[in-house]
Chain A
Amino acid sequence: MTQMVKAEGVHKSFGAAHILKGIDLEVAPREVFCLIGPSGSGKSTFLRCINHLEKINAGRLSVDGELVGYRQKGDKLYELKDSEVARKRRDIGMVFQRFNLFPHMTAVENIMEAPIQVRGEAKAVARARAERLLDRVGLSDKAGSYPSQLSGGQQQRVAIARALAMEPKLMLFDEPTSALDPELVGDVLDVMRDLAQDGMTMIVVTHEMGFAREVGDALVFMDDGVVVESGHPRDVLTNPQHDRTKSFLSKVL
């Protein structure tokens, strides 16, 4: 079986800053894969490498059996054209910490935008799906609202619906609840839990240990650009083996 995501010795630096120092990991289809670790450990950077928002400097990274950002012919690598990169991103949904909804469009227009512009879908079809998705995230009454009229939790649920509108095979979540008021976190986590039950492959960078324990199938603790410890969330969270993991968990739990 092909892994959904496979990373082998992935390195990434920004100038002199060496952020990822050789990441090896595998994410199976239908798996909920949680990435935890202190800020600056490289979790978000790794996530952004998966849909090529960042270019890796060394190693190999593939999604669903295909290299990210390159094509291999013989033993030579060819960089992909922008249009080819864009084509691959259609299958990977991403949810950002700061939502990044398009402020000049209503909720339903935000969700319709990519299917219409990228896949050339008919407006009526896109609208019908957008309304279905809004209903799924519990916001069917907010279709005509602009992002500035929605709370953070509502905006993030629209952002999830926007990513789902492209019917991705993989969803990336970059600290989806970190910018939210505590009382709004639950609604977003409910939507994500629902998505996991439907069998979506999800990679979640999070500080919500409760969510990781309850929903996660695999968990990785990263620190300073390397994977320190990995395993089933229950095992890692309750019985950490490394000192760094122990000290991190003692601070956040």
Chain B
Amino acid sequence: MTVDIDKSDDPKEGPRDASSTAPESIKAIPVRHYGRYVSAVVAIGVLVALVYAFAQGDVNWGAIPDYFFDGQILTGVKNTVIITVLAMLLGVVLGIILAVMRLSKNPVTSAIAWFYIWFFRGTPVYVQLLVWFNLGIVFEYINLGPVYKDEWSSFMTPFLCALLGLGLNEAAYMAEICRAGLQAVDEGQTEAAHALGMSHAKTLRRIVVPQAMRVIVPPTGNEVINMLKTSSLAVAVQYTELLRATQNVAQTSGATVEMLFLAAVWYMILTSVLSVGQYYLERHYARGSSRSLPMTPFQRVRVNLLSLGRPKGGMA
């Protein structure tokens, strides 16, 4: 096989000093990837057909912007954010406790944590939500002695059902994420801290947890995004979050599919915002782990703008 190399430099020039001039880069005819052209055309074709199909469908697109900032919808968005944040908070706090319990030398606490994780990971969150919702059938009253006593139905509001159902389930997953993070920290770190006279608690708080965060934060970001979407299951317990709000609007306006699209757009906006937040959080905990931190999107834009005037490959 031969390769055409465009030799443009003057043969009479003779050997050149390598340190003063850069070596000439190879100029060759690149390989043609005909398969890529074909697959690109096919993909674009399918995309166009899809867009065309939806354009032909009986969709009242105008309803989406009309209802986008509707009062009911905005309440739904607010409730979705609230339940996501609170359920996640419950999940993280309980998850850390469960992770420490599982790693403890006490066999009883370790077994209890194991059982909790086994139980809540082993059942669908939808089933758990329905169980919380229907517990009123088995309990007529809630009686916490002198502290609190009420009828079950007025105690277990849709909000509390959603919070417990989503939060307790999340705790099982967060426990495993935290445990993986704590175990990922090199044992030499604990030894070094102990050798300096630090207590177990201080070693955990000052040395182990900050390093575990690097492992814990990325999957936790995924969990938050997952939680945001899973919170739509709270429809099952009558909690008025985004999806239920759009369904309510759909019932009065008759724009069923349009309102589902509207809900999808709102979910995408919220998850995009969370992704950006996750990026900066990861950067924060990457401190000291790599020689230079990756640039933030903002920094990257600035550098690209500054280098526009320079010729390509002007790295030297």
Contacts of B210 in A (CB 8 A): 104
Given contacts A105-B288, A148-B291, contact A86 B191 (CB under 8 A): no
As a 0/1 sequence over residues 200 to 213 of chain B, the CB contacts with chain A under 8 angstroms (1 = contact) are: 10100011001100
Closest B-chain residue to A85, C-beta based? B194
Distance in angstroms between the alpha carbons of A53 and B196 in the assembled complex: 11
In the assembled complex, the CB of B293 is this many whole angstroms from the nearest CB of chain A, namely: 11
Contact A113 B196, beta carbon cutoff 8 Å? yes
| B197 interface hit (Cβ, 8 Å) | yes
Distance in angstroms between the alpha carbons of A94 and B193 in the assembled complex: 10
| A96 interface hit (Cβ, 8 Å) | yes
In the assembled complex, the CB of B204 is this many whole angstroms from the nearest CB of chain A, namely: 12
Partner of B196, one of A82, A83, A118: A118
Given contacts A104-B287, A105-B288, A117-B206, contact A90 B192 (CB under 8 A): no
In the assembled complex, the CB of B105 is this many whole angstroms from the nearest CB of chain A, namely: 12
Distance in angstroms between the alpha carbons of A53 and B198 in the assembled complex: 13
| B143 interface hit (Cβ, 8 Å) | no
Contact B289 A83, beta carbon cutoff 8 Å? no
Q: Residues of B within 8 Å of A, CB-based: how many?
A: 23
> Which of B197, B199, B202, B211 has the most chain A CB atoms inside 10 A of its CB?
B197
| B290 interface hit (Cβ, 8 Å) | yes
Total A-B pairs, Cβ < 8 A: 72
Contacts of A93 in B (CB 8 A): 195
Contacts of A51 in B (CB 8 A): 195
| B314 interface hit (Cβ, 8 Å) | no
Contacts of A100 in B (CB 8 A): 186, 188-189, 191-192
Main secondary structure of the interface of A (DSSP, over half): mixed
Contacts of B198 in A (CB 8 A): 86, 114, 117-118
| A102 interface hit (Cβ, 8 Å) | yes
Distance in angstroms between the alpha carbons of A83 and B199 in the assembled complex: 7
Using a CB–CB cutoff of 8 Å, the interface residues on chain A facing chain B are 51, 53, 82-83, 86-87, 89-90, 92-94, 96, 98, 100-106, 113-114, 117-118, 146-149, 162-163, 166
- 8 A-B pairs besides A94-B195, A101-B192, A146-B288 with CB distance below 8 A are A82-B199, A83-B199, A89-B196, A100-B189, A100-B192, A102-B207, A104-B289, A148-B291
Can you list 25 A-B pairs with a CB-CB distance of less than 8 A? A53-B191, A53-B194, A83-B199, A86-B198, A86-B199, A87-B197, A89-B194, A90-B196, A96-B191, A100-B188, A102-B207, A102-B211, A104-B287, A104-B289, A114-B196, A114-B197, A114-B198, A117-B202, A117-B206, A118-B198, A146-B288, A147-B288, A148-B289, A148-B291, A163-B196
Using a CB–CB cutoff of 8 Å, the interface residues on chain B facing chain A are 186, 188-189, 191-200, 202, 206-207, 210-211, 287-291
